[in-house]
Structure 1
Amino acid sequence: MTTFTSEWIKLRSVRSTHLLLAIALGAVGLAALIAVSAVGAYEASSPARRATARMAELDDVVVAVPQLCLGILGVLAMTSEYATGLIRVSLTAVPRRWPVLAAKGVLVSACALVVGPVVVFGTAISSRAIVDGRYPLLPLADRVPLMVVSSLSVVVFALLGLGLGAVLRNAAAAIAVVVGVVYVIPMIVGNLPEPWSERLGSGMIGALPGEITGADLTNSVYGSLLPPWAAVLVLVAYAAVPVLLGFVLLRRRDA
């Protein structure tokens, strides 16, 4: 309990934590602005264009913001101690070492469990209220399973960042990997020739919530080859593999 309390004090006393959480939650406001812009475009269109007008589900679009922010929060929760040298004090106070990483994991996961649903569900509800039936969107109830899994993907990114921070011990390198997972690798995979685009795209985090819930991915830039059980395993692996590797290296390496 002392380790948990200590890690909580560290996390909440750093300004970057508050900034990252504010940016993540601000994604709801960003989605609202996009919805307002879409409504303006709809109202300015002719009746013929209105009949064929379509709008993306904005919660699918803006979920990348909390994913990235909580991924960076996970990175900084670990690497900031290496940058300041505080890690030596932490590991001296907790000789077994693994409780330090475990406490950080619980805390960043808790933050993600709050932020993810707030952004995903807040975006879906507010965007529908703003659009007010102008665009043909799926009923909110039909999208709840997908939104739940999308919210949980934010937790995956938080743990991914934490694990990478423990493995690389360098904030810039770990954040670069997180950004690559969110943006760069999916862009590269999406431009590969078939069947590699479909095969590799099916393993991207952006594809996994849809594959888990059986959502229609016909127009998705990702693949849709994995059955739900396999997609669950891949999603868990994104978080579990770096965290477990971080546990191993934290015990074996000098601070």
Structure 2
Amino acid sequence: MNVLRAERIKLFSTRAPWWCSALSVLVPIGFTALFFGLAGTAVPADVGNTQLAAGNGRTVALVLAVLAASSDANWGTLKLTFQAVPTRVPALLAKGTVVLLLCALLGLLAGTGSWGLAQLVRPEADLGLHSAADWRLVFGQTVTFALTGLLGVGVGLLLRSTALSLALVLVWSQLVEGLVLLIPKIGADIYQWLPFYAASQFAGGDFTRSTLKLSAPLGPWGYLAYFAAICIALFAAGAGTANRRDA
């Protein structure tokens, strides 16, 4: 418990996590308000469309997680932690746990906040959670945000450099995954196996899939398992690397 408390204190000792936490919730909620307010009847007001901007919130949560890991190494506080906790694994697991729990909370707020605000903007629309799929879309953000946080910590521990880590995750999530679609013949097939697309298929609007008429090879829960495997593998690789090399 002391290690968890120490990681929590370190995480919130600077302003960046506070700003990232706020933006990861406010960005999807704000987009949803604008979307439902300005789109009118041109776009169906359904539960799935309340989560169209969830990916933007996850991106900010990813930045938060990378900063939590890489800045710890850059500032030398990781070395101090290892001196206080000679067995490194508990400290690394504590860091991953703290970020995972924070990101889970942010996902819960972003998902339910977007859904709730959409009901205020379009009170005449039927946005009730009538099916298991509706519940998954809204509350599933808790899971995908949490796993994204774990992924970010893994990348930060692997690369240590804040600039390099942020460049990698942002270029990948915001540019590379979209550009894959431009590859002739096989682009769409590859795209459906990319990690952040997988996350959106479990909890998020399926705007891209419906627009491009993609036939997903996995169901929502299969995509969640696939995304979880990637995130856990990256965190394990980052923790294993940090455990072996000099702090």
What is the distance in 1 between the residues matched to 2:220 and 2:167? 29
Aligned AA (1:108): V
- The one-letter amino acid of 1:54's match is V
Partner of 2:22: 22
Task: Pick one of 95, 109, 121 that aligns with 1:130.
Answer: 121
Conserved? CA contact 2:32–2:51, under 8 Å: no
**1:152 alignment counterpart:** 143
Q: Is the 8 A contact 1:212 1:229 kept in 2?
A: yes
Q: TM-score of the superposition, structure 2-length normalised?
A: 0.85
Provide the C-alpha distance between the structure 2 equivalents of 1:221 and 1:163, rounded to a whole number of angstroms: 33
* Aligned amino acid, residue 119 of structure 1: A
Cross-structure match for 2:13: 13
Distance 2:67 2:199 in 1: 26
Give unpaired runs (5+ residues) of structure 1.
43-49
Mapped contact 1:112–1:154 kept (Cα < 8 A): yes
Name the counterpart of 1:200: 190
Contact 1:208 1:232 in 2 (8 A): yes
For 1:185, the equivalent position in structure 2 comes to 176
1:3 matched to which residue of 2? Answer: 3
C-alpha distance 171-223 of structure 1, shift in aligned 2 (>3 A): farther
Could you tell me how far 1:188 is from its partner in structure 2? 1.0
- What runs of 5+ residues in structure 2 fail to find an aligned partner? none
In the TM superposition, what whole-angstrom CA distance separates every residue of 1:74-121 from its partner, at most 9, and x where no partner exists?
111111122212222111111211112111111111111111021112
Aligned length: 239
Which amino acid counterpart does residue 5 of structure 1 have in structure 2? R
* Higher radius of gyration, 1 or 2: 1
Counterparts of 1:150 and 1:205 in 2: how far apart (Å)? 15
In structure 2, distance between residues paired with 1:69 and 1:221: 28
Q: Percent same amino acid at aligned positions?
A: 24
Pick closer, same or farther for the CA change 1:119–1:156 going to 2, 3 Å. same
Indicate the residue corresponding to 2:32 in structure 1. 31
2:235 to 243, 246, 249: 243
The root-mean-square deviation of aligned C-alpha atoms, in Å, is: 2.5
C-alpha displacement of 1:139: 4.8
Q: Distance in 2 between matches of 1:163 and 1:184?
A: 20
Q: Matched residues in 2 for 1:145 and 1:179: separation?
A: 26
Q: Which residue of 2 aligns with 1:87?
A: 78
Q: Structure 1 residues 17, 229: CA separation in 2 closer, same or farther (over 3 Å shift)?
A: closer
